[in-house]
Amino acid sequence: MSNEIRPFTLEIPQSELDYLHDRLARARWAAQLPGTGWERGIPEANLRELAEYWRTGFDWRAREAELNALPQFTTEIDGQHIHFLHVRSPRPDAQPLLITHGFPSSIAEFLRLIPLLTEPADGPAFHVVAPSLPGYALSTPLAGTGWTMARTARAWIELMARLGYDRYGVHGGDVGGGVSGLVAALDGAHVTGVHVVTDPLTAANVATFLPGLADGLDPDDPVDKVILDRMDAFRRDGSGYLAIQNSRPQTIGYGLVDSPVLQLAWIAEKFESWTDLPIDRDQLLTTVSLHWFTGSGASAAHTLYEQSHSAEWGAPPAVPQGFAVFGADETVRRVVPAPADAHWSEFERGLHFPAMEDPENLAGDLRAFFGPLR
């Protein structure tokens, strides 16, 4: 294994773009059943419109240039090819901050957030390190089995050490929140604090499979009943994507790697279902394109399989903890294991992807949390 850190430039061959456009032009479509809508998956009309824009209106070269305007690097850690952004602030007092995306996302999630962190109008600034999760987009191919959140956390700890950061903060949501919590738990001597984003739907969904979060919920309590109802709805109607990836990632992987329409639907449906504020469709299609061009739909599914079969979920971190709840209601505090002295912020709008939905409030909360921890 080499410890070398290599500069990286994203260059998708024109032949790959031509192939994508040809496949989209020749796509076969599942007819929409009369009287059905989003409750059965992304509707045909919505997907057709988005696919046509991907084929004829979306400017991949502009998005590629936007990504290449940020310093990108690759390295090898624990046998795995790792891609990451490393955007240093011009401010001499900037703090290092490791940020991790979740599912079904990519580092493109942070394109609007990063400038707000590296060059803020006021308040603390950050040197941002944003890796692509193993098996996702540019951190492919997946070198083998066993890439759980804990193994990823250990790889991130090694990455920050290679970059020369002795003290740093960590932030994430979804899978990235789990990885960030494990980084803080495993590297408390170097982590200044851990900041996690969540929302009411995600909190209830996570409580369905993470041991202990739903213990003690009372169906006769009005707030607890809302949580329990959301958990039931997720098990019944919302968890199919997770069930297939947690059990047969290879099978669904063939379709995700072979069909751009399936890869588009797989991601676009979640962006629609898990957001409250509008997301720029070019930013959505940047993530979809990264998954398509790298064939990472299958390998991302395999990492979800690995975590669902892992017993290592981590202990509570001993460093300061911060939580930002988007689309907040009274339910989240009931299931999120936040210590009494944790930083806690609530925002009325936004949900699962606040770095895309509401980057200004997210950046402000990161400054509010990490500022006193310098």
Q: Which of 171, 291, 305, 358 is catalytic?
A: 305
174 catalytic? Reply is yes
What HEC string does the chain produce?
CCCCCEECCCCCCHHHHHHHHHHHHCCCCCCCCCCCCCECECCHHHHHHHHHHHHHCCCHHHHHHHHHCCCEEEEEECCEEEEEEEECCCCCCCEEEEEECCCCCCHHHHCCHHHHHHCCCCCCCEEEEEECCCCCCCCCCCCCCCCCHHHHHHHHHHHHHHCCCCCEEEEEECHHHHHHHHHHHHCCCCEEEEEEEECHHHHHHHHCCCCCCCCCCCCCCHHHHHHHHHHHHHHHHHCHHHHHHHHCHHHHHHHHHHCHHHHHHHHHHHHHHCCCCCCCHHHHHHHHHHHHHHCCHHHHHHHHHHHHCCCCCCCCCCCCEEEEEECCCCCHHHHCCCCCCCEEEEECCCCCCHHHHCHHHHHHHHHHHHHHHC
Q: Which of 291, 352, 358, 365 is catalytic?
A: 352
276 catalytic? Reply is no
Q: Which of 174, 187, 276, 365 is catalytic?
A: 174
365 catalytic? Reply is no
How many angstroms separate the Cα of 130 from the Cα of each of 24, 138, 172? 31, 12, 10
Active-site residues, by number, are 174, 305, 352
